[in-house]
Each structure stands twice: as structure tokens, then as C-alpha cells.
Chain A
Amino acid sequence: MRKGLAVCISVLLVLTMMPLRPAVAADPIKIGVVVTLTGMAAQLGIDNRNGILLAAKHKGTILGRPIQIITEDDEGQSETGIRKAEKLVFKDKVVALSGVTVANVGQAIAGEADRLNVPFLTTNVMTPKFYGLHPLVFRCGQVADDQMTVAQVMGILKDPDLMKRSWYVLADDYAWGHSCAEEFIKLATEKGIKIKNPTYDNAALNLVDWSPFVSKIISAEVGGVYACLRSPVAPRFVQQAADFGLMEKVKIIGGTPSEAALEAAGESVVGLIGTCCWTWDIDTPKSKAFAEAYWKEFKEVPPSQGAQAYTGAFVLFNAIEKAGGTDPKKIAEALKGATFEGPYGEVRISPKDNCMRTPVKVVVAERAPKNPFGAKIIKKVVASLTPEEVGPAE
């Protein structure tokens, strides 16, 4: 009874079920996109993917060949990210990898760059570990943690009301949270900004009730709160802080909450300060065009994550075109020093460390004026910083 001859038939059956190489019609240029579509960061992942899809639509063709975007979901896990990257490179024969929403997946794929041997341009990973990480690994689209911190500190310096306040620092208890908090405290103390708790507090990831921290902030009598919390969590903190009536007394700087998160939190989020590269408040022609195109395509409030992914993707497409082929080395060469006039001005990939230099905006959440997207909240630009101000120096 135990094991019939069929055992090896069934195992071979399972293995041969794998689809053979798909027949190739016109010879498109395939770009692999690895993003997080399930889990906490899913909304960010969807904005990333939409931005890249829109860029491909606008670019149309590279070297006369159509662009084919193949998307994979990494579930925010490093091991799944590597497996999906391998699938894109080895099975789908993609020419380049892009996307990636969370830092751990980005670093895991970058760690395999030699074996994958394709250029990997991340549009949304913020960890500073990407500076000069690998000749085939680039960052273009989202600012890095250090650039964001510089922008936030400059934001405080430029506003005398913020300058005189003392700041309480709170961070999500994971890698991104810690690096943001540490850099902010280092830079702020250099620039003479008063920090109430130099050893910053960190909040566990599965924390649901923020009232302990809110009461700590109230008893600390601080003027401002620097909270680097993940985008889906920031509104919950702000909402609960607003319940306690904290928003009137205290200015909160909160990482880079996405438009969707702000819309969800609604009224209570007004007054939240943040930084990002793009907001539909920017009224340059390119920015307006992008906003309308995104709204027409996806019927959602155009997110900054989408614009950043859009810009990163365009830089990649132009670099492949400039390289005149799909050889990884040539594309990497073309990417070094590549520039692109996108929705938020001119971005440039520094040849020194393969990472982007970009203008950054300091924004405040306010009630939105009449707008075609039906948005309730707008990220109002209060200060714009040039790439040189934001750095890092080259």
C-alpha cells in the first residue's frame, strides 16, 4: 500500500507542468519591477508600480522597441524579493530591474547584483546604504534618509517659529526609523536646534495604541515632535494625537506620509509637516501634465511616490536608449551622471555614488483648494531646497 510506482510519475508531472519559454512576438525591451503589493507597505508599492507603468506609457518605445513592464510582488520580504528578481532576470530575461518599496528587499537584491548581472535602479528605497554600493546598483526617484533629514532640518532653520521650539524625537522601531532619528538628532544639534530627548524613543512595530507616547509628549512640554513613522502608521499616530488635542499645541514633522494616508486621516492631519520631492501643489507645466495623466490613468489622487517612481523609470529608459543596447555595463555607464527634467525639476545621478541629487520640497498638510482629483488634503509647499543644499556633497 505504502508507495506505488506512481510516486515518480506525479513528481515529474508537477515539474513538467512549468510553462516553457513564452513565444516571443515583437522583440520588446523587458523591464522587471519588484514592488510590495501585499502587507503594510502595499499602498506605497501600488503607487510605485503605477508611476513606472505611466512612465512606460509616456516613453512609448526605446530604440524602436516596445517597452514591456513585468511586475512581481515581494511581500516586503527579502527572500521573496530575491526569488522574484531571479525569476525576472533568468526566466523573463528582463534587461533591468527597478521599483522596490522597502529597504530590506532593496538591500537583498543589491547583494545579488553580481549574480543577476543586470542594472538595478531602485525608485523608492531610502536607506543611505545605497551610496556607492555596487557598480550596477543605482537610486533615482525617492530621496535617501540623509537627504530627507537635511531637508527637514533646513525646513526648521528657515522657519523662526519652528526654530524656537524644542523637539521630541520618536521613531518606528526598525532600521529606517533608527537611521532617520539618529541623523536628525546629529544634524539638529549641530545646527543648534533644541532636542528634548537625544536618546530618542522608539515605538514597537505592532503598537496599536499611541496614547503612552502622546501623554509622554504632553508631559514633556515640547513645542515640536519629530516622528519618523512608516507611511501607513503616521496617520494613526497623528489621529490619536489629535484626539488628545495635541495638534494645536505641537508642530509634528512626520517622515513622508503618502497622499492616500493623508486623505484617510482627513481633518486631523492638518498642520503636519513633511518633506517629499513632488506634490501636485507644484504648478510647473511638467508637474501639471504628470498630475492630470496620473489622475486620468488611475483615478487616484496623484501620489508623490508615483511621481518619484515615474522619474526614476524615465531616467532608466533614457539610459537604455543612450546605451544603444541591453548590455548591463553600457546601461550602467549611461546611468552615471544621467539627468532628467521631470515633474519636480532636474534630477541627476551622481557618478560618484550612483545615487540621485534632486530638489526637495518641505510641505505642510492643509485643506485642499478645489481640485480635479477630489482631494481633501494638499501638501502645500512651504520651502524648496536645491540639490546642492540637500547634498550629499560630491
Chain B
Amino acid sequence: MIQICLNCLLLSALLLLISIGLNIIYGISRVVNLAHGSLYALGAYFGYSMVSYGVNFYAALLLAPLLAGLCGVVLERLIIEPIRHRDMTYTLILTYGLSVFIDGMFKFIWSDKVQFIQMPSSLRGTLNLFGVHYPNYRLFVLAATVCVILGLLALLEKTKLGMIMRAASTIPEMVSALGVNMKLVHMGVFGLGCVLAGIGGVIAGPLLSVYPMMGSEMLLSCFVVLVIGGLGSLRGAILASLLVGTAQTLGFVFLTDFAMVIVYLMMAVILLFMPKGLLAEGKFD
């Protein structure tokens, strides 16, 4: 029984870690980034290259996301900024093209082989939790996710930068009127979103393997979590990822055929009757 709970927790943690960046980017600068999956994969690939060249796993866990965040900021300046004022459809199609481009680059640079980020020796082996052997690495993933989320909540709630971000998510015009350089805020938020995606990538690397299509496969689950939790609300995302993680874990095992249909049904119900998400904190335009 403990094993099943831990399994559900782990999938929820992964979903949360990967979708949180997308949530922030939409919540604060109203950009729907279909290339978010590819940035998650970019983080994983950077992590893989570093670890295979002998960089220590933990160092890679810090460096790779920063590199992914840097790429994110450059992309935001080059591509997202010029069309920010345009209708949402254009950002969707542009980021879709971007995801096709990045997935193509993975194939071009790293080839199609399925790779694994080598797990650090300290995290190998299992831990005996009340008679159940649970891999150390998975416990590390749970712990890492909790730290990242707490850090993020602290950043948003406690710091001045966080206050600006939260204000920008409600009334952007007012914030720029108060002399805040919105360009920097959008750039910072997009960068932060990509760093979070990168962290998700490096942590998922040893577990889920690294291959060109990993990003686009996770994108759909990210959107499901986003919608159920309420677009742009962090607490909602935490609750939603728990719900979706449990539904998928139990669903895949017991009624494999229609597990995903239930998840999409949940998404449809939320969209129809609670557009602002479970905790009604979502920011729908």
C-alpha cells in the first residue's frame, strides 16, 4: 500500500516540477508556451552531456537548468517579445514551430539514441521503508520537488521581486505605470520558467531516459495539470498534479485502456464548470 502511495506521489512530483514553469509563464506574462516540453528536454540533454563529460551530477543539476534558462531568455527576446501584443493564436503557432525546431535540433546534435543521465552513486540502491524497498533516487526526486516548490513559493510570497511578479500577473499596465521595466519582468519570468523546466529535465533524466520526443510527450500532461489547477495558480497546480498523478498511476494499472480518457474528462469538466480551476485562483482572460 505504501508503495502505491509513493508511486502516485512520485508521478505527481514529476508532473508538478515540469508544469510549474509553464504555469508561471502563463500566470505572469500570459504567454502560452507550447515549446515548454522542448525546454524541459533541453535541460535533460544539457544534464546528460555534462554528466557524460564527467561533471558531478549535483553540479549538472545546477548548471544545466541555468543554461536552459539562458536559452529561454534568448528565445524570449528574439521570438516571443515581437509578437507579445498580437493575438494569442500567433504565440501558440510560433511556440509550436519553436518546439518542432528544438526537437529537430536534439536529433541533429545528440542523435536519436535513447540516453540515460548516469545516476550518482550516492543515490543508487534502495531504502527499507516499513518493509518496502523504495529506490533512493525516487526519494531524492520527491525531496528535490518539495524544495523547488517551497523555494518558488518563498520567492513569490516573500521577496520584492516576487511581489512585482504577482502584481504583474493581475494588472500589467499598472505595474509598468509604477516604473517597473516590464521587459525585464517578462524576460525574467520566461527565464525562470525555463530554469524550472531544466531542473525537471535533469531530475527526470536518470528516471525517464533522455530522447528527442520526451518533451512533446509530457506537454499534454502539463496542460492537463495546468487546466485542472487553474491557469496561473501555484497552489492549484500542486493540488492538480496530485490529482492527475494519482489518477494516472492508478488508472494505468487498473483500467489501462481508459485511464487517459478519465484524465481528459476531468479536464473537460473543470474547463466547463470551474474555468478558474480547482481553487478558483486561475487567471483566465
Contacts and interface: CB of A to CB of B under 8 A. Distances in A.
Whether the complex brings A and B within 8 Å at their CB atoms is answered yes
Interface residues of A, number: 37
B7 A204 contact: no
A27 interface: no
A89 to B, nearest CB: 27
B280 to A, nearest CB: 29
A215 B137 contact: no
A58 to B, nearest CB: 24
Contacts of A243: 126, 135, 137-138
> Dominant SS at the B interface?
helix
Given A215-B3, A243-B126, A243-B138, A43 B114 contact: yes
Nearest to A246: B133
Given A38-B107, A209-B249, A243-B135, A236 B126 contact: no
A208 B208 contact: yes
A62 interface: no
A46 B217 contact: no
Contacts of B11: 208-209
B252 interface: yes
Contacts, number: 100
Interface string A181-224: 00000000000000000000111101111011101101100000
Interface stretch (A105-113, A120-128, A144-152, A259-267): A259-267
Given A38-B107, A204-B260, A260-B113, A212 B253 contact: yes
A46 B250 CA distance: 36
A212 to B, nearest CB: 4
Contact of B10 (A40, A204, A211, A213): A211
B256 A260 contact: no
B263 to A, nearest CB: 11
Given A208-B204, A236-B208, 15 more contacts: A39-B213, A42-B212, A43-B114, A201-B256, A208-B218, A209-B207, A212-B250, A212-B253, A232-B209, A232-B211, A239-B206, A243-B138, A245-B125, A245-B126, A266-B118
Interface of A: 37-40, 42-43, 46, 173, 201-204, 206-209, 211-213, 215-216, 218-219, 232, 235-236, 239-240, 243-245, 260-261, 263-266
Interface of B: 3-4, 6-7, 10-11, 14, 107, 111-116, 118, 125-126, 133-135, 137-138, 204, 206-209, 211-213, 217-218, 220-221, 249-250, 252-253, 256-257, 259-260
